[in-house]
């Protein structure tokens, strides 16, 4: 299986469009899944301090012997590190657990507006970027109003990773991303249970293209240059999820899938939830 195509971030860094998510696997399961995923063609690996499996990502990559510059590692840090020199400490801790000298994409995991230190945290990320400790920086679970606070301070993330699937298209925030050249990252792209996978817009496209419904949804995302991470420890499913770049959905098929949007909120509200 060939690796995923990439998308260029605003600073020119190339990020794979499809990667392996690792939540909620523990370190042992993560190491095994990552090792298998590398052999299956994956090059992007998504983890976080709060997942408790950064060490597993690093161990899995070491087991493969793959060169560090051939993989793209995304990690995220918790709210306790927001502000001041905390972001530098968060980086050092994550890099140590991963066993790497740099992180490809480092994200503020949740804005935590009640604490109101995420602007300071992003300034800390920019310092890491200047120092070459990270190759790109961004946010996760930021709403438009949270992003606007950054814009008002002259700050723009390269990526904002959000819950996004056919029932949660998030058109408002995607439009904002496009105006600011922010790449949209999608987590939980297949939902939890994925009732939308059986909807005619998805299932009929799957039949037409001789693909599975999950493959159709992942193609719907990546065809829009949305970078998706999908978790699977199963080698067969890993291969299936990556086998989506040999077909294209038609404009009509894309629209029908997007029309599944319920307009409902994300599973967790970033104004209320944070860690």
Structure tokens at 261: 């949007």
Residue 252, CA distances (Å) to 14, 205, 220 in order: 29, 10, 11
| β-strands 14-16, 6-8 pairing | antiparallel
Contact between 146 and 180 (Cβ < 8 Å): no
Q: Of 42, 51, 118, 187, which one is the catalytic site residue?
A: 51
Position of tokens 């970033």?
270
Q: Would residue 51 show up in a list of annotated catalytic residues for this protein?
A: yes
List strand residue ranges (DSSP E) for the chain, in order: 6-8, 14-16, 18-21, 44-46, 72-77, 103-108, 134-140, 159-163, 183-187, 227-231
Distance CA 247, CA 211 (A): 9
**Length of the chain, please?**
275
Residues marked as catalytic: 51
């Amino acid at each position: 299986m060939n690796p995923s195509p990439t998308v260029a971030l605003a600073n020119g860094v190339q990020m794979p469009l499809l990667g392996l998510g690792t939540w909620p696997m523990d370190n042992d399961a993560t190491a095994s899944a990552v090792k298998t995923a590398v052999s299956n063609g994956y090059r992007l690996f998504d983890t976080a301090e709060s997942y408790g499996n950064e060490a597993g990502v690093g161990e899995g990559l070491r087991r493969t012997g793959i060169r560090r510059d051939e993989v793209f590692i995304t990690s995220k840090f918790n709210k306790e590190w927001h502000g001041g020199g905390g972001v530098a400490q968060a980086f050092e801790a994550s890099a140590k657990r991963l066993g790497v000298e740099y992180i490809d994409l480092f994200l503020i995991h949740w804005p935590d507006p009640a604490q109101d230190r995420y602007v300071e945290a992003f300034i800390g990320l920019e310092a890491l970027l200047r120092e070459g400790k990270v190759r790109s920086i961004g946010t996760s679970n930021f709403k438009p109003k949270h992003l606007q606070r950054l814009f008002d301070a002259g700050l723009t993330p390269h990526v904002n990773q959000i819950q996004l699937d056919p029932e949660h298209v998030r058109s408002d925030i995607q439009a904002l991303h496009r105006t600011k050249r922010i790449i949209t990252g999608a987590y939980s792209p297949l939902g939890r249970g994925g009732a939308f996978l059986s909807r005619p817009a998805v299932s009929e496209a799957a039949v037409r293209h001789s693909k599975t419904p999950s493959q159709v949804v992942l193609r719907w995302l990546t065809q829009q240059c949305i970078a998706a991470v999908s978790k699977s420890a199963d080698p067969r499913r890993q291969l299936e999820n990556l086998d989506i770049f040999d077909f294209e959905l038609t404009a009509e098929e894309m629209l029908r899938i997007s029309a599944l949007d319920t307009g409902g909120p994300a599973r967790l509200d970033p104004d209320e939830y944070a860690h």
